[in-house]
Amino acid sequence: MSRRFGYESETDSLFIALVDELATGLFPAAIMAASYCGVASFVAFKAQSPVLWVIAATGTLIGASKCLVKRRHQRALRDRPWDRQRAARWEIVNAAFTFGFALQIGCVAACGFLAADPALPVLVTGLVFGYCSGAVTRTAFRPRIAGIAICIATVPAILASAARGDSTSIAIATVFTVFLCGGLETIRYLYLNTRRQIILRHDMATLAKNDPLTRLLNRLGLREAFRGVLAEAGGNAIAVHCLDLDGFKPVNDQYGHAAGDELLQAIADRLRAVVPAKAAVARVGGDEFVIVQGPILQPDEAAHLAQRIDFAIAEPYLIQGREVRVGTSIGFATAPPGSLELDPLMAAADAALYRAKASKSDATVRRAAKRADSVLPGLHANPVS
């Protein structure tokens, strides 16, 4: 179905978001299960068929179980983050109960159209249309599940109605077929619309937390990532590195802002290559960067990272056909996780940064010393010259 309707491959985040939607609609699912129980029981009573009583009981049990699955799915959503494999398992479970319930509706609809009582076709028609409309609106974000479910529920009714042979029944079968085709097209439309909305929402969230030039985190994204690093560190220490570039302004002034932007992007790429995967890297100003590192397992681990960053940034860059060199000043602070928020750690690391800059320029010694005195007790703040 996805190839026919032109569905593109789904990223992990999009797939997980779409599967999350399967947990919604608990109340409509309960109403549908109760409606099925009433209609199926009435059809079984009118037809005096033990088989139909079994179908009525089975469908009611599946419908009730589907409601329980949705409830369990809602509770599972609180346990984050999810990966694609876990979301796929929930999709399979939801699909199994959806298909099972649709099959029971299809069986009851076929028996209703084949029954002698003229009132039963009208009753089962309402049941099928009610189920299909709910499946289309509530499950369209998983188009394979929605499309297969409405086919399972509708095709037996179409075949049974056509089998009666009279003109009215054939007309009903034709109308059912037309509405089935319309339902499949509606599923396609709703899926693509929901997909666009989720992608837009993700894009807006990404823009809100990331620097558009370097694609690193911004201040807002850094605060969120800081909590993740804290959780990942467990009982180990963490470190915050503050750094800014030496010699960036002359490059920007001499070659223009476009060259400066290209240089910042190249520096961001080098930071991504040097910094561990579990760390958070952010651009918080023009040429200012912050790195949250954790867990710190060795006493000199933060210092080693600072040195690697210093060496990586000092390598020459090819910007607009010219070789460009810049340096960096780095200060970092370490503390046990949970003992401090991000701001005090950044203040301590920033103080160490100014001490590093002071070692490179006698003109800033007094200012750097004053800033260094603000390091909070219990923190280890270190400059890297």
Question: Using CA of residue 85, residue 88, residue 94, residue 98, what is the dihedral sign?
Answer: negative
Query: How far is Cα 382 from Cα 61, in angstroms, rounded to an integer?
Result: 66
Question: Domain residues of the chain, as ranges?
Answer: 12-208, 219-384
What pLDDT sits at residue 175?
Answer: 92
Residue 115 has pLDDT above 80, yes or no: yes
Confidence of residue 383 (pLDDT cuts 50, 70, 90): low
Highest mean pLDDT pick, 76-80, 110-114, 201-205, 235-239: 110-114
User: Could you read off the pLDDT of 329-362 as tens digits, one per residue?
Assistant: 999 998 876 666 888 888 999 899 888 888 766 4
What is the average pLDDT value for the chain, to the nearest integer? 87
User: Could you read off the pLDDT of 11-48 as tens digits, one per residue?
Assistant: 888 899 899 999 999 999 999 999 999 999 999 999 88
Residue 368 has pLDDT above 50, yes or no: no
219-384 classified as CATH 3.30.930.10: no
39 close to 52: Cβ distance less than 8 angstroms? no
Secondary structure letter of residue 364 according to DSSP = G
Mean pLDDT of 214-239: 87
Mean pLDDT of 231-240: 84
Mean pLDDT of 236-258: 90
Indicate the pTM of the whole model: 0.67
Residue 377 has pLDDT above 80, yes or no: no
Using CB atoms within 10 A of its CB, is residue 345 exposed (0-12), middle (13-18) or buried (19+)?
Answer: buried
User: Buried b / exposed e across 100-133, counting CB within 10 Å, b at 16+?
Assistant: bbbbbbbbbbbbbbbbeeeebbebbbebbbbbbe
Residue 211 has pLDDT above 80, yes or no: yes
380-384: strand order across its sheet: 280-283, 288-296, 237-246, 327-335, 380-384
Residue 5 has pLDDT above 70, yes or no: no
The letter for the amino acid at 40 is A
Which of 187, 174, 178 is closest to 147 using CA atoms?
187
Confidence of residue 370 (pLDDT cuts 50, 70, 90): very low
Mean pLDDT of 181-195: 93
Query: How far is Cα 74 from Cα 70, in angstroms, rounded to an integer?
Result: 6
What pLDDT sits at residue 385?
Answer: 54
What pLDDT sits at residue 361?
Answer: 63
